[in-house]
Structure 1
């Protein structure tokens, strides 16, 4: 084979991933715009925070209730038709928010959003794990995480232009959902085929890769607790609310900066050791958060490092998953991983809130430290056992 052929072969996996990378960036942007809209609208109407929390949780319940069927439907319908059907449905649901003020109706709409909203997320991760070569898996998952994080970070800036109240931001969000479909349309018939094994089940794949699944759970718990409570923690520490919002931006920017080097490490060193380093360092940083003055520049460094390292738990876990599974099992494994990520947030948010009510702001770091420590110790034990 000529050098040119070698170069072409080496580049082809990346070319195959370009449409799904573009779709993932659009998914992140749409999520960055969508996440605050319903809570802010309900709060403006005087709805109590418990009810707002219940409505917000409906998305996760919807996703968990239907995620087990995603691999089967993706195998039957094809990756691109399934994703496009989901994003079109999600776009119509977003428009429906502008047609009613009923809190009960918004709960149902949020639940239905969860039903279809998990499809592009899960199917795109399956697509990547099916296509990528093992030697590049860590870096591919890092690029994926960077693109989603960039979209999440840009979303709030777009809200500065379209506003956060009234129909306009919802209609903007509906248009952004359709944007996810655009890079995928040329691959309607040529996208990688997703296999589904009828005899496989979720308990089997969780038991076969417990460390990767624990990583998904710990990352979901840490990220979702941070997005829910970091601004609240900042205000409680005496920081202005606007500055608290910047803390969240710092958390996401840390992810963008650190994903590639950690992805490179995941391709060149034992991924169990990399996972142990990310989780144990995250544990140390959340404990350090309470010891650093909230008005100092040092707190920005702590939050940025915590964001970068804790976000990295997810793509490293995905790389471990792709390393362990193949064929039809990877679809089930990816779905189980995503479900555990969502479950981590459902469990972590009330635990963190209760801890902060009981012991004050340090309860945030203590809660997260426990779960980071569990995942870190498990990764460390697996690393030493493997050696």
Structure 2
């Protein structure tokens, strides 16, 4: 059965692998090119934050547009929009243009993930859904790593690197447009306000906000930091690839362990581990490239699973009909953290405090670890922790059901026109 389902979604997985490569290349490419052009860290941080604004907007607004035209046509249009935004940035190297185009890229990628994950959830059954989503996420992370390595042999100061990204996005269209597939159906879910989450599972809210800010900082400003300390372009791509690879390797074992012990203790261990490694990285000189790669991989291994740990912890204290709505609320909270993260560290670095990059990561992860440990003393472990077992999720993870939760704010008259499909939209990263 699983083999048959994999054959049914093979074209979908091929397309999303190519999209993952593009996402991996783009953030590092733009950060390096902004450094070459002398934009400055603060301006670059604001530009990079536009992606997360677009991503958040796409996750709440795009569903209505998807319902109007269908998933296949929406995928084609959104991929074309993403390719357009990349090429415009290559032609007009201007901070304002880049900000607007980065917003469009975030919007398009967010909606593409909605389409792909909805498709996978529709094609899977309860016995195979976890396996299919795990394969999907491995392909996403693999694409992110591959994107870094491809960029290592392309000059970010020229047009070719941008053209490669646009070409790969267009190639991603082919498997989807020539395939025959079933579009996702709708599901009912209960809306969960952020205020309810704050009172019920405050650690889940704090963790989502801070960790998404950390991820945004690293993906957006990390390449610039690595360049500033003297790493070559190829070394910068290895720096970023090591971070993602570390998280990819650690996600499953940490998740399995969190299903057997108090998840808050796992959050504490991972967060304080991230604090220690961030401090170590702030002290390593640039001529110790091998040690830097190893430490960055260890940093990714500690902090990349934290978002998923927090999501699973949140679900531990909720009813089943609240889980989808809660995930939608957590995505919005994390999106707000992403928007703030990159400009914050960029503002510190703008004043010459380069070492503050990892110092700020250390402080933020220490806050998460300390608060998680505090919550252990305030509340007993969830009795049915097993009912919401850890899922290997990137910061941008979405699902078919989540589309319903994120689209609940659609005016009633619009819902009446197209109530057969509900939509939603993402980390990972």
TM-score (norm 2): 0.69
1:164 partnered with 2:156: yes
Report matched runs for 1:89-128 at 5 Å.
89-97=81-89, 100=92, 103-125=95-117
Q: State the match for 1:25 in structure 2.
A: 17
The answer to whether residue 336 in structure 2 is matched with residue 343 in structure 1 is yes
Equivalents in 2 of 1:81, 1:204: separation in Å? Answer: 37
1:34-55 per-position Cα deviation (integer Å, ceiling 9, x unaligned): 2244444455555455444433
1:371 aligns with 2:364: yes
1:22/1:375 CA distance change after superposition, 3 Å:
farther
Match of 2:145 among 153, 157, 168: 153
Supply the distance in 2 between the matched residues of 1:221 and 1:237 (Cα, whole angstroms).
22
Q: Alpha carbons of 1:257 and 1:140: their partners in 2 closer, same or farther (altered >3 Å)?
A: same
- Over the aligned positions, Cα root-mean-square deviation in angstroms equals 4.2
Structure 1 unaligned blocks of 5 or more: 1-7
8 Å contact from structure 1 (residues 25, 148) kept in 2: yes
Deviations 1:256-302 (A, max 9, x none): 32233234335555544443432232223223333556655544433
Matched-pair contact (CA < 8 Å) for 1:25–1:151: yes
Shift of 1:232: 5.2
Measure, in 1, the Cα distance between the counterparts of 2:188 and 2:142: 32
Kept in 1, the 8 Å contact 2:24–2:143? The answer is yes
Alignment CA distance shift 1:114-1:303 (3 Å)? closer
CA shift digits 1:73-127 (9 cap, x unpaired):
5566555544343223222333444554555444332222233232123454566
Are the equivalent residues in 2 in contact too, given 1:143–1:259 (CA < 8 A)?
A: no
Residue 203 in structure 1 maps to residue 217 in structure 2: no
CA shift for structure 1 position 30: 0.8
Distance, in Å, in 2 between the alignment partners of 1:18 and 1:272 is 37
| 8 Å Cα contact 1:279-1:376 kept in structure 2 | yes
C-alpha offsets along residues 200-251 of structure 1, whole Å, 9 cap, x if unaligned?
3653675566544443333322222223444555566676675455333322
Q: Which residue of 1 aligns with 2:387?
A: none
Q: 1:386 aligns with which of 363, 382, 385?
A: 382
Higher helix share: 1
Q: Does residue 233 of structure 2 align to residue 246 of structure 1?
A: no
Aligned length: 376
Alignment map for 1:261-300 (pairs within 5 Å):
261-266=253-258, 271-291=263-283, 295-296=287-288, 297-300=290-293
Are 1:64 and 1:339, in contact at CA under 8 Å, matched by a contact in 2? yes
Distance 1:238 1:40 in 2: 13
- Structure 2 gaps of 5+ residues are 384-429
CA contact (8 A) 2:148 2:237 kept: no
2-structure distance, mates of 1:99, 1:361: 30
Residues 258, 252 of structure 1: alpha-carbon distance in 2 compared, 3 angstrom cutoff: same
| SS at 1:290 equivalent | helix
Q: CA 1:224 to 1:93, structure 2 compared with 1: closer, same or farther past 3 Å?
A: closer
SS of 2:304's equivalent in the other structure is helix
Greater CA deviation, 221-230 or 260-269?
260-269
Give distance in 2, aligned partners of 1:32 and 1:65: 21
Q: Deviations over 1:13-59 (max 9, x none)?
A: 77777665544432220112222444444555554554444333322
Q: Given that residues 13 and 132 in structure 1 are in contact (C-alpha distance below 8 angstroms), is that contact kept between their aligned partners in structure 2?
A: no
Q: What is aligned with 1:301?
A: 294
Corresponding residue of 1:5: none
**Partner Cα separation in structure 2 for residue 36 and residue 221 of structure 1:** 17
1:227 corresponds to which of 219, 231, 235: 219
